[in-house]
Amino acid sequence: MTSATKPGRLTLVSGKGGVGKSAIATGLALYAHRQGRRVLVIDVTGAGGVAAHLGGGRLEFKPREVRPGLFALTIDRTKALAEYVKVQIGVPQFATMGPLARAFDALASTAPGVREVITLGKVLWEVQHGGYDLVVADCPPTGAIIGLLRAPRTIAELVPSGRVRHQAEWMSQLLARKTTELVLVTLAEELPTVETEETMALLAAENLVEPPTIVTNRVLSRLETDAKGTGVAAEAAILHRSLYRNQQDWIKRLQPARKLPYLFGLLTPGEVAARMADAWEHSESGSEA
Amino acid sequence: MTTRAANKTKAIVVTGAGGVGKTTFAAGLAVKAASEGKRTLVLTVDPAKRLAGALGLELGGEPRQHPEQPLLWGAMLDAAASWQSLARRHADPAVADRLVNNEFFQAATVHFPASQSYAAAEEAANYLDARVWDLVVIDTPPAAGGIDFFTSPAQMADLVGGRLLRLLTGGRIPGRNFFFNRGARPMLRFADQLLGSDLLERVGQFLMDLRTTYDGVASRSREIDSHLRKAATVVVTTADPAPLTEATRFFLELPDVAALPVAVVFNRSLPDRWATTPPLPAKSVASTNLALAENLTRWAAESQRQHDARVEFAARYKAPLATVPWLADAPNDLESLLDLLQQTEGLPSLW
C-alpha cells in the first residue's frame, strides 16, 4: 500500500430505483474523462449497470482500464471481504480459509454495517490510494444509501473494540471531506421527489457527508410554441405540455442543481451514457467547480 | 368489519419493478372489481400520498371500508410491524421479546429484503384465510422487482432454519454454550480479533433465538406458498429496458414457485398511431408549425420504440399484453382510477 498519492475526489451516485443512476454515474465518469482526468467508476451494487453503459463486457473486482485513463471495477462481496481483511486488517491468508470466510460472511449478513463497511472500504481505499483524480461510485438506491454511508458509525457503535472498529474512523473522515460529493438522482414526479426529500432529511440528521447535489433526470424542455396544431401533432403537443407543466411543479419544489434531458426513441445503453456525458457538460449547475 | 363471509377468496398479485405505476394499477383493479359488485380488499405498500387519500388508507391499520364505495376495503402493509408480529406469533413470549428488542432483528429488514416480502406475504395470506372478501388485490413490495414476494416463504424458512448459524459454527447447530468456548476455535478467535469480543456472541444468540420460530414459520410458509401458487399474477411494466428486464424474470424464474403471469400490463403507453403516421412533407411542415412537427417526431420515435418493445416481448413470452395510456395526471380519486382501467386495453378477465 502506498500513501504518497493524494486522495482524489469522490462522487457517490444514488437515487430511487429506476431513475437512471447507472447511466448518470457512467455519464459523469465519461464527462470527467473527456476533461482529461484520470477516472475510476465503481459498480457498488454489482448489478452490472456500469458495465452495460460502458460497453465492452463484464467488469471484475480488479480495476480494468476500459480506455486510456478511464478505469472501471465492480464490487464482488467475497473478494471485497478477502481484500479488506488482507489490506486493512493485515491477515493475508484469509482468502484461502474457506470455512472461515463463509462463517465471516454469515456474520456479516446478520450484523448491521459489517458488509457495508467492507464495500465502502474498497471504494474509499481506491479514493485514498488508487491515484485517480475522480472516483465515481454507482451506489445502491436511496433505501440503502444511508446504511452504506453510516456503516463506519454503525460499526463504531456496535463494536467496542477490534480492528474493524479502528478502520471505521478514517472512513468517516474521508466521507466528510468537501471533495466527497453525494449525488441524489430523482425524477420530476411525486414518489421520487418525496423519497429524495426524506433521504435529504435523514442525511441532514446524520451529518455524514456534505449536503447532497440533487440531479433531476428525464426533464422535458418547454414546447417553443403556443400553437395547438391538428391530428396526432395536436395530441402529442397536449401530452407534452401537460407532462412539462407537472414536471415544473416538482422541479420548483426540489430545486435541483442539475436537470438532465428526457431521451426520446431507441438508444443503446452506450448511447445513453454518452448523451448523459454531453448533458453533464451542458446542464445547468449550481455546485460544480 | 363485515357480516357476510365469502366462499372463496381470489388473490390477484400485482407486481413488477419499482416506479412503473403498479400501486396505482392495483388500486384501479380493486376499484373496478368493487364497481362490478365484488367485495374487494386492496393491500398496498408505500402508496403516493394522494393515492392513499383516494383509497382512505392508514398505515398498518386493519382494513378499512371506503366511505364512498362500501364494497372496497384498503389496508397498507407496514413491513416493520408485520416482521415484529411474525416473531410474536411464532416464538415463545420471552424469546419474542428478546428478538423484537434485538439490534440485529431490527436491522434484518434491511439485510434480508426477503423478510419484508415474507411479512407482506404472510399478512396477505391471513386476509385470504379470513374469507371475508371475494377478491384480495396485493401490491407487492418493490424488493428484487417483486420476485422476492414469491420466493420469500422458502428463503425465510431457510433463514430461520439456521443456515447462517451453521455457516457461523462450521456445520452444526450449537448449544448455547458454544460461543463461550471461542478460545479453542480459530474462526471465533479470528472474528474476535476483527470485530471485538462480544459481537459474535450476540449474533449467535440472535440466530439461535430466531431458530425457535422455525416450526411456525416453516409450516406457515408452506401455506403461504400454496396461496401464492393459486394467485393470478399481473406484471406491470413500462417499455423501458430496466423494468422490462425485471418483467422477463417472472417468466424465466417464476415457474418453480408460482403460475405464469396472466397478463403483462404496459403502463405509460403512447398511441401506436403516433408512430405510424407518415412524416409530413417538408413544404407543409414549414406552412404549419415547425416546433409542433419536431415535437411529434420525438414522440413518434418514443411510440415506435414502445411498440417494438411490446412486439418483441409478446413474441418471446406467451402472455396477454395490456396497455395503459400515458396520463399526465396520476389518478387520485375513485372516478379517475376507474377511468384508468376503462382506458386499459387488452386486459383479460381477472375475476
Q: Is B245's pLDDT higher than 70?
A: yes
Q: Is A289's pLDDT higher than 50?
A: no
pLDDT at A41: 98
More confidently predicted of B191 and B2: B191
Lateral strand order in the sheet of A64-67: A64-67, A70-74, A39-43, A134-138, A9-15, A180-187, A213-219, A258-261
CB contact under 8 A, B277 and A232: yes
Cα–Cα distance between A21 and A289 in angstroms, integer? 22
pLDDT at B283: 60
**Which DSSP category does B8 fall into?**
-
- Which of A139-153, A177-191, A206-220, B249-263 has the weakest average pLDDT? B249-263
Q: Is B327's pLDDT higher than 60?
A: yes
pLDDT at B104: 78
For chain A, give the percent of residues with pLDDT over 70. Answer: 91
Q: Is A106's pLDDT higher than 80?
A: no
Q: Which residues of chain B does A84 touch, with a Cβ-Cβ cutoff of 8 Å?
A: none
More confidently predicted of B66 and B110: B66
Q: What is the mean pLDDT of residues B187-210?
A: 72
CB contact under 8 A, B19 and A16: yes
Out of B187, B196, B293, the one facing A100 most closely (by C-beta) is: B187
* Cα→Cα distances A273→A47, A219, A230, Å: 16, 16, 35
Cα–Cα distance between A162 and A148 in angstroms, integer? 20
CB contact under 8 A, B168 and A111: no
- Which of A188-202, B31-45, B53-67, B260-274 has the weakest average pLDDT? B53-67
Residue of A nearest to B160 (CA): A110
CB contact under 8 A, A106 and B165: yes
Identify the CA nearest to B32 among candidates B236, B294, B334, B346. Answer: B334
Q: Residue A266: what are its φ and ψ, rounded to 5°?
A: -80, 120
Average pLDDT, chain A: 88
pLDDT at A89: 66
Average pLDDT, chain B: 82
B211: closest CA of chain A, how far (Å): 14
CB contact under 8 A, A99 and B169: no
Instruction: Mutate one of A107, A163, A240 to test the B interface: name it (highest B CB count within 10 A).
Output: A107
Q: Is B183's pLDDT higher than 50?
A: no
CB contact under 8 A, B291 and A224: yes
More confidently predicted of A278 and B193: A278
Out of B199, B203, B293, the one facing A233 most closely (by C-beta) is: B293
A202: closest CA of chain B, how far (Å): 16
Q: Is B76's pLDDT higher than 60?
A: yes
Residue of A nearest to B296 (CA): A233
Cα-Cα-Cα-Cα dihedral sign, residues A60, A65, A67, A70: positive
Out of B17, B206, B326, the one facing A110 most closely (by C-beta) is: B206
pLDDT at B342: 96
- Cell numbers representing residue A253 in the block: 419544489
For chain B, give the percent of residues with pLDDT over 70. Answer: 80
CB contact under 8 A, B164 and A112: no
Identify the CA nearest to A187 among candidates A246, A266, A119, A113. Answer: A246
Q: Is B188's pLDDT higher than 80?
A: no
Indicate if ipTM > 0.90: no
More confidently predicted of B114 and A62: A62
CB contact under 8 A, B19 and A19: yes
Q: Is A259's pLDDT higher than 70?
A: yes
A146 near A198, Cβ under 8 Å? no
B80: closest CA of chain A, how far (Å): 14
pLDDT in tens, A19-69: 999 999 999 999 999 999 999 999 998 888 999 999 888 999 999 999 999
Q: Is B321's pLDDT higher than 90?
A: yes
Instruction: Mutate one of B280, B292, B303, B304 to test the A interface: name it (highest A CB count within 10 A).
Output: B292
Residue of A nearest to B309 (CA): A266
CB contact under 8 A, B103 and A112: yes
Element (H, E) at B335: helix B334-342
Q: Render the burial of A88-115: b for 16+ CB within 10 Å, e for the rest.
A: bbebeebbebeebbbbbbbbbbbbbbbb
Q: What is the mean pLDDT of residues B180-198?
A: 60
DSSP 3-state percent helix, strand, coil across chain A (nearest 5): 55, 15, 30
Residue of A nearest to B246 (CA): A18
Out of A111, A232, A239, the one facing B273 most closely (by C-beta) is: A232
Q: Is A165's pLDDT higher than 70?
A: yes
pLDDT at A61: 92
* Cα→Cα distances A162→A229, B42, B190, B198, B231, Å: 71, 49, 10, 10, 50
pLDDT at B59: 59
Q: Is B194's pLDDT higher than 80?
A: no
Other Cβ atoms within 10 Å of A160 Cβ, number: 12
Q: Which range has the top average pLDDT, A40-54, B4-18, B189-203?
A: A40-54
Q: Where are the extended beta strands (E) located within chain B?
A: 10-15, 40-44, 64-65, 72-76, 135-139, 232-237, 263-269, 321-325
Cα–Cα distance between B225 and B307 in angstroms, integer? 36
Q: Is A14's pLDDT higher than 90?
A: yes
pLDDT in tens, B152-162: 888 888 878 77
- Cell numbers representing residue A121 in the block: 472500504
pLDDT at A274: 96
Bridge partner residues of B269 (DSSP): B325
A37: closest CA of chain B, how far (Å): 30
Q: What is the mean pLDDT of residues B93-100?
A: 88
Out of A102, A104, A265, the one facing B191 most closely (by C-beta) is: A104
Q: What is the mean pLDDT of residues B78-102?
A: 82
